[in-house]
Structures are given as C-alpha cells and as structure tokens.
Chain A
C-alpha cells in the first residue's frame, strides 16, 4: 500500500512542526475534557462550600503532595531525556525514559494506596459529590497517566531499537508534551481537591 507519509511534507522541520501542531490540538481537546469536570467542581463548590470544607480534610494531603512532586520530577526526567536525544545522547534518553516510567508507576502506586484507604473507610464514588469529583477527576487523570506510560513505554522500545537521533526525535518530543500536560492537570487537581476547604 502506497505510504504517503513521507512525501507529504517538504522538510523534516515541517514534519516536526506538523506533529507539534497535532499534539497541541489534541491537548486542546484535553483541556475541554477535564474542563467539564472542573466546571462541575466549580458549580458544586459555589453551591455547597460546606461539603468541600468538611470532606476535603478526608483526603491524604501528604500523599497528594508526594504525588505532585513525583509528577514534577517525571516532567523533569522526560525533558532532560529530550534535551539529551537532541544532542544524540541515546543512553541518556533511555535512562530518562526509564526514570519517567518509574516515577509514573510510583504515582499510580500512591493513588492505589489512597483509593484503598478511602474505600476501606467507605468513601466511595457514590458517597457524596465531593468524593464523586475526587474519584472522577483523579480517575480520569490516572487513565491519562496510564496512556502516557503506554506512550513512554513505546518510546523506550523504539529508543532501544535505535530509532532516535539528534536529527529525528519527534515522537519523543510529542510524548513529552503530552506528559507535561498530564503533570499540568495534576498541578491544578492537587490544590483544588486536597488543599482548599
């Protein structure tokens, strides 16, 4: 089957630009995806502030802060990895990708611990609207973390196969942009759910 992907662009620079526009367009959709949940959050916070005051204290602020730091570190590791491959440093890219994956897994591990705690105490998605928001927002976010891990894992496999170089690292760059967005969403989720009452 004739593959037209290579003939369509005039240069590799334009190919990168095209891929970047593609991922930013996708991130735009994600802003609105999470945005609907942020809207629900705003509505309930305004109409029932008391619920937020009492319920948010039931969240584990330490776990939340740890996870925030974990994700920030993972953003750093993927950014360092991309900077490395731009200089052709293959091994450093692989190390950074592995580090990012480990941190992402840590994030999920902490979330698992948190969810277990809540479920054990009978704090379920249907308990009240605060916990509905908590589970929906962090749940959707966690799904995106899983998706990000799949993408990062794919990048790692491709990196081991030597597909990336200083000249060609577009997929890593794109994956990195997605990953930073996942971090960005959590940067807002953490204070909104855990910190303000």
Chain B
C-alpha cells in the first residue's frame, strides 16, 4: 500500500516541479535561469532515481554503479570545456 502512496506523492511533486520550471522560464533572470532550471531538473532527477528507481533502498554497490558514471560525465564535460574556455 505505502509503495503506491509514495509513488503518487513523488509523481505530484514531479508535476509541480515541472510546472514550476516551465513557469520560471518566462521570467528573465539572466544567468539565474540556467541555475534554477538545472537545480529543479536535478531535484526531479533525484526524485525519479531515489523513489521510482528504488535507489533509496539499494545497497552501496548499486549506488556506486549509479554515481560513478556521473563523475566521468563531469570529467568529459569539464575536461573538454577547459580547452574551449582557455583558448
């Protein structure tokens, strides 16, 4: 029973956050738009990962499989960016 409830609550939160991020996009905050949009997206992603994908209840090995790729993602983005930005 509580599994269904958790999913519904997370779903509602995701919908609210979606409307929020869509709404904020019409307001001009300059660079703030990028930060806010990514923040909200990351919050939504975290909700999907933790609850829909059960990450919250998984062991450390699964967490490692989930998080380590993100480190390498950061590596390729910032490694490539380091060149672009210093040219």
A residues touching B (Cβ–Cβ < 8 Å)? Answer: 20-21, 24-25, 27-29, 31-32, 35-36, 38-39, 42-43, 46-47, 61, 65, 68-69, 72-73, 75-76, 79-80, 83, 86, 176-177, 180-181, 183-184, 187-188, 190-192, 194-197
Contacts and interface: CB of A to CB of B under 8 A. Distances in A.
A32 B69 contact: yes
**Nearest 5 pairs between A and B by C-beta?**
A191-B37, A195-B25, A31-B69, A24-B65, A28-B69
Given A31-B70, A43-B84, A72-B15, A191 B40 contact: yes
Contact of B22 (A27, A28, A65): A65
A61 B18 CA distance: 12
Interface residues of B, number: 41
Interface of B: 3-4, 7-8, 10-11, 14-15, 18-19, 21-22, 25, 33-34, 37-38, 40-41, 44-45, 48-49, 52-53, 58, 61-62, 65-66, 68-70, 72-73, 76-77, 80-81, 84-85
B48 A184 contact: yes
A180 B7 CA distance: 13
Contacts of A75: 11, 14, 48, 52
